Structure 1
Amino acid sequence: MKPEVVLTILIVTILGMAMEGCHCKMVQFIFGDSLSDVGNNRYLSRSLATANLPWYGIDFGNGLPNGRFSNGRTVADITGDMMGLPRPPAFLDPSLTEDMILENGVNYASGGAGILNETGGYFIQKFTLYKQIELYQGTQQLIINKIGKEAAQQFFQEARYVVALGSNDFINNYLMPVYNDSWKYNDQGFVQYLMETLQRQITILHSLGAREMVVFGLGPMGCIPLQRVLSTSGECQDRTNRLAKSFNKATSQLVDNLSRKLTNSSIKFGDAYDVVNDLITNPRKYGFNNSDSPCCSFGRIRPALTCIPASVLCKDRSKYVFWDEYHPSDSANELIANELIKKFGFLRVNDSNAPSPAPAAAPTSGAAPSPHN
């Protein structure tokens, strides 16, 4: 073959590759707290916010703890499945590689994390939102080194982004007198402080290529079992719920403003308050029979903040809205995810891919089996 023919073929091939760009799968990058953590904190050796003990994960895969703060899946797991998105592994997963990132994205969520760096300080180790963004920057450099700057830019701009934090900033910061923020701000001032911080964080993510983003609001956090048991009446804490509503209103306005201001951005606010509140207020309407106490508890000793091997499980995990003092059960997460998908009209984005598998064992009745069974 003549040299000029070979050269022509080579040039055409290179141009074709350049025009095609990155044929990467659409993935998601998740920034969050324990409601979205899929195992980061289990690799933080000094963290006091972990889900490493039975009976966490009892209704997921092999039934052993996997880092999720639930008996099964998270809301992010389920919504991603329904949209045809792969489940992103934890950033600290030892098996994480560049190829896995290109195939599945990354989950940076960390139990105890907040929008603010000072939130959840007594958990000792966790990834704050600023730290999660820093880790995302490192991920970007890995992918740039793997596939080149232009292809990496396309990959990250076509990905989906989830930001879901805020409850710890109240429950494990502002509402606790051991933190300076509890006496430094009033309610309105603290929400404004959160918004100023969140605005900077979303703007940084946008500058790093995030274009399609959902920023989730808070549910009625005054109705989680921990808040109920700390009240004198056992009812929901009104002030805590009012703070959640104030946060949601301010975040919705912030997201609207940023979506207009930031170039080529589509930033949506995910308001789950009404969905979760209706589930808690009318559990039997959705097939549940308990929405005020945890399935996994330490008998009458409450609050036992985490589920432990000595804890007693409820008779039917599928009938309890809450798994432990803080976190919903797999069944509740499934209902919440399905309601959010209907409410926001989330569409499948990877039609050729089947959803990731659901838990191998659905929630069942009866006491907890031995983890070796």
Structure 2
Amino acid sequence: MEGFVLFLVISMEVLGAAAGVLLPPPMYVFGDSLVWLRRAAKKIGLAGSPPPYLALAWSSSLVVSTALTIGGVSYASGGAGILDSTNAGNNIPLSKQVQYFNATRSKMIAAVGSGAVNTLLSRSVVLIGAGGNDLGTFYRSPPEQQSDVATFYGSLMSNYSAAITDLYTLGARKFAITNLGLVGCLPVNGVLDTAGACSDLRNQLGAGFNDAVRNMLADLAARLPGFRYSLGDASGLMVDTFADPPASGFTDVAGECCGGDQRVDCSPNSTVCANRDHYYFWDAVHISQEAAKQRAEAFYDGPAKYTTPINFKQLVWST
């Protein structure tokens, strides 16, 4: 199996080069359920979403063949946080996701050698979207804990920076990171806040997180040779979209398509809106397919104000 995989990888690279075709790089995905991997994968030329690691882990050869020839692996987990304590026991935290990536890398090296793997990882894209669940947990913490925001940010950035640095050490060089959108405007706030409107306090907390992420990435780029990144501004995009929803095709940016106005979880028996593309939110915490599509387009090669220091397209095809 290992020999066949190596032959297949080499054949793909040779045929692509001979035809003058740049093959899309593999994509390794980390974070929580808010990361929009299918749209991002389509934008860079992959056939579909990278499959989830735990669906492959039962077979080393399956992990290797998928990672090397299919287009990457997803380690993202619903409910996961940057902090291990976030929703502990109910998800795979970011630190554990990185450990799974390390296990994948070891299997790849055993199959095709460190040289081939290092070359592949250096052109691969690491997509990360995380932090929302950590902020959600912080919202629900006792008031005395919420007063120490600086310590909370410090813990988040320490863990986030460590995870990204570990991925860099393992061979990753291109990082596509998304910040947090307007977390205070999620429909779930209809339950958390009796007024049901956007929470300025929560949006301010999200803005502080986004500022910290931007500074952290700039610091990593200054310290790590060959480290490249693109930071997508989900918050800025949402501000512009919510300022004029019809311009983006939305008629509802407050309620959710699935679940109705009761702010209940989306389930097979839930009421679903008639035209889901007109809703910004699919359920109480997740954006709709149309919103995800627009986000992918904005970050990949949309207006420069939505990404820094380069867009995702420039990151993907950089050498």
> TM-score, normalised on structure 1?
0.71
> Shift of the alpha carbon at 1:185?
5.8
How does 1:147-296 map onto structure 2 within 5 Å?
A: 147-171=112-136, 173-177=137-141, 183=145, 186-296=148-258
Measure, in 1, the Cα distance between the counterparts of 2:238 and 2:45: 24
Measure, in 2, the Cα distance between the counterparts of 1:257 and 1:241: 24
Aligned residues: 286
Whichever residue aligns with residue 282 of structure 2, its letter is W
1:245-268 CA-partner distances (Å, limit 9, x unpaired) = 111111101100101101221133
Larger Rg: 1
Aligned to 1:358: none
How does 1:1-373 map onto structure 2 within 5 Å?
A: 23=13, 26-36=25-35, 75-86=36-47, 87-94=49-56, 96-103=62-69, 104-121=71-88, 124-171=89-136, 173-177=137-141, 183=145, 186-297=148-259, 299=260, 302-304=262-264, 306-341=265-300, 342-343=302-303, 344=307, 345-347=311-313
Whether contact under 8 Å (1:175, 1:182) holds in the other structure is no
Whether contact under 8 Å (2:190, 2:263) holds in the other structure is no
Whichever residue aligns with residue 111 of structure 1, its letter is G
1:37-75 CA-partner distances (Å, limit 9, x unpaired) = xxxxxxxxxxxxxxxxxxxxxxxxxxxxxxxxxxxxxx3
Task: Point out the more displaced range, 261-270 or 200-209.
Answer: 261-270
> Shift of the alpha carbon at 1:273?
0.8
SS at match of 2:313: coil
Measure, in 2, the Cα distance between the counterparts of 1:202 and 1:312: 40
> Shift of the alpha carbon at 1:132?
0.2
Measure, in 2, the Cα distance between the counterparts of 1:248 and 1:314: 32
Q: 4+ residue stretches of structure 1 with deviation over 6 A?
A: none
Measure, in 2, the Cα distance between the counterparts of 1:214 and 1:336: 13
> Shift of the alpha carbon at 1:232?
2.6
CA RMSD after TM alignment: 2.4
Whether contact under 8 Å (2:179, 2:213) holds in the other structure is yes
Unaligned runs of 5+ in 1: 1-16, 37-74, 351-373
Whichever residue aligns with residue 81 of structure 2, its letter is G
Whether contact under 8 Å (1:252, 1:269) holds in the other structure is yes
Whether contact under 8 Å (2:176, 2:312) holds in the other structure is no
Aligned to 1:61: none
1:243-301 CA-partner distances (Å, limit 9, x unpaired) = 1111111110110010110122113322221102222342212111111111111x56x
Measure, in 2, the Cα distance between the counterparts of 1:209 and 1:22: 21
Whether contact under 8 Å (2:63, 2:104) holds in the other structure is no
Aligned to 1:53: none
SS at match of 2:230: strand
SS at match of 2:221: helix
> Shift of the alpha carbon at 1:182?
6.7
SS at match of 1:296: coil
Measure, in 2, the Cα distance between the counterparts of 1:321 and 1:205: 33
Whether contact under 8 Å (1:22, 1:152) holds in the other structure is no
Measure, in 2, the Cα distance between the counterparts of 1:33 and 1:250: 19
CA change 1:271–1:151 in 2 (3 A) is: same
SS at match of 1:246: helix
Measure, in 1, the Cα distance between the counterparts of 2:150 and 2:112: 46
SS at match of 1:313: coil
Whether contact under 8 Å (2:254, 2:281) holds in the other structure is yes
1:319-339 CA-partner distances (Å, limit 9, x unpaired) = 111111010111111112112
Identity among equivalent positions (%) equals: 31
Q: Which has the higher contact order (CA 8 A, sep 6+)?
A: 1
Aligned to 2:17: none
Measure, in 1, the Cα distance between the counterparts of 2:85 and 2:144: 12
